[in-house]
Amino acid sequence: MSIITAKDLCLWYGATQALKNINIEIPERSITALIGPSGCGKSTFLKTLNRMNDLIPSVRIEGTVTYGGQDIFAPSVDVNDLRKEIGMVFQKPNPFPMSIYDNIAYGPRTHGIKNKIQLDDIVEEALQGAAIWDEVKDRLKKSALGLSGGQQQRLCIARAMAVKPKVLLMDEPTSALDPISTSKIEDLTQQLKKDYTIIMVTHNMQQAVRISDNTAFFLLGELVEFGDTEQMFSQPQDKRTEDYITGRFG
């Protein structure tokens, strides 16, 4: 079952076309890796999925993206509601300069939850879900900025999960992390995909092979190939995919 579907999606930054006729169906409760050389459009595509590109004035979009059958660009769609359903985790951990607890409670509070006991539950559940609870449970009131990079990134994943999204977009979530933290985040994604759909941009081919179910290869704004990860990394169908993943260009 696909949860997000893009049809003939084109996107321009001013006169520059960054996405060209993207057609893709992202399967639910699985991990989809987006790969491709820098500037190929994969991050643009990721950001389009929860309308983060709306913030850039010169952007023009054609084609459709549906989430659960609903057009995400329809005038009736509230962007805040969309981003509650489709959360984002960035390349560089970006905790808010506040306590660990308040980082997680921030989202639920903005959506109107004020009850302390309810918030406590949400915070614990999110931190448990992001596999960081045991490391921070005794210092929830301390600043999140005191955490290590890997902990901060898991905190950001917990923060994204606190508003109970269905989809998590991750833009190179481990590229700034050491191998141990990377491995913790990778393990976490395997847990999360039971309940969430994860779409992840990565420059690390081995990471795509290790953790993703499907891989999409972007090149010069086009979606060159999309399919089962194991298949793509053992028998890519398109020569451009083969050349990229074997390091012949990029």
Partner 1 sequence: MRNLFDSQLNTLHRKLIEMGSACETAIDLAVKALLEGNADIAHEAASHDREIDQMERDIEAICLKMLLQQQPVARDLRQISAAMKIITDMERIGDQAEDIGEIVPFLNGRTGVECEDIRLMAETAQQMVRSSIDAYVNQDMALVKKVISMDDIVDDAFDRTKETLIHMISSNREDGQYCLDLLMIAKYLERIGDHATNIAEWVEFSITGQHAKEE
**Residue number, 142 or 248, with CB nearest to partner 1:** 248
Of 54 and 230, CB closest to partner 1: 230
Contact (Cβ atoms closer than 8 angstroms) between residue 161 and residue 127 = no
> Least CB distance from residue 210 to partner 1, whole Å?
10
Encode 38-71 in three state secondary structure.
CCCCHHHHHHHHCCHHHHCCCEEEEEEEEECCEE
The residues that touch partner 1, with contacts defined as CB under 8 A, are 205-206, 209, 233-236, 241-242, 245-249
Q: Is the CA virtual torsion 50, 54, 56, 60 positive or negative?
A: positive
- Choice between 34 and 126, CB closer to partner 1: 34
Asked if 127 and 133 count as a contact pair (C-beta separation under 8 A), the reply is: yes
CB of 186 to partner 1, least distance (A): 15
CB of 60 to partner 1, least distance (A): 35
Q: Exposed, middle or buried, 204 (CB in 10 Å: 0-12/13-18/19+)?
A: middle
Taking the C-alpha atoms of residue 171 and residue 89, their distance in angstroms, rounded to an integer, is: 6
Residue 30 or residue 241: which is nearer to partner 1 going by CB?
Answer: 241
Question: Which CB, 172 or 225, lies closer to partner 1?
Answer: 225
Cα–Cα distance for residue pair 59/15, rounded to 1 Å: 9
Q: Least Å distance between CB 233 and partner 1?
A: 4
Residue 227 CA to residue 216 CA, distance in Å, equals 7
Q: Measured from the CB atom, is 127 or 245 closer to partner 1?
A: 245
How far apart are CB 164 and partner 1 at their closest, in Å?
Answer: 36
Buried b (16+ CB within 10 A) or exposed e, 78-94: eeeebbbbbbbbebebe
Q: Give me the least distance between CB of 206 and partner 1, in Å please.
A: 5
C-alpha–C-alpha distance, residues 202 and 216, integer Å: 11
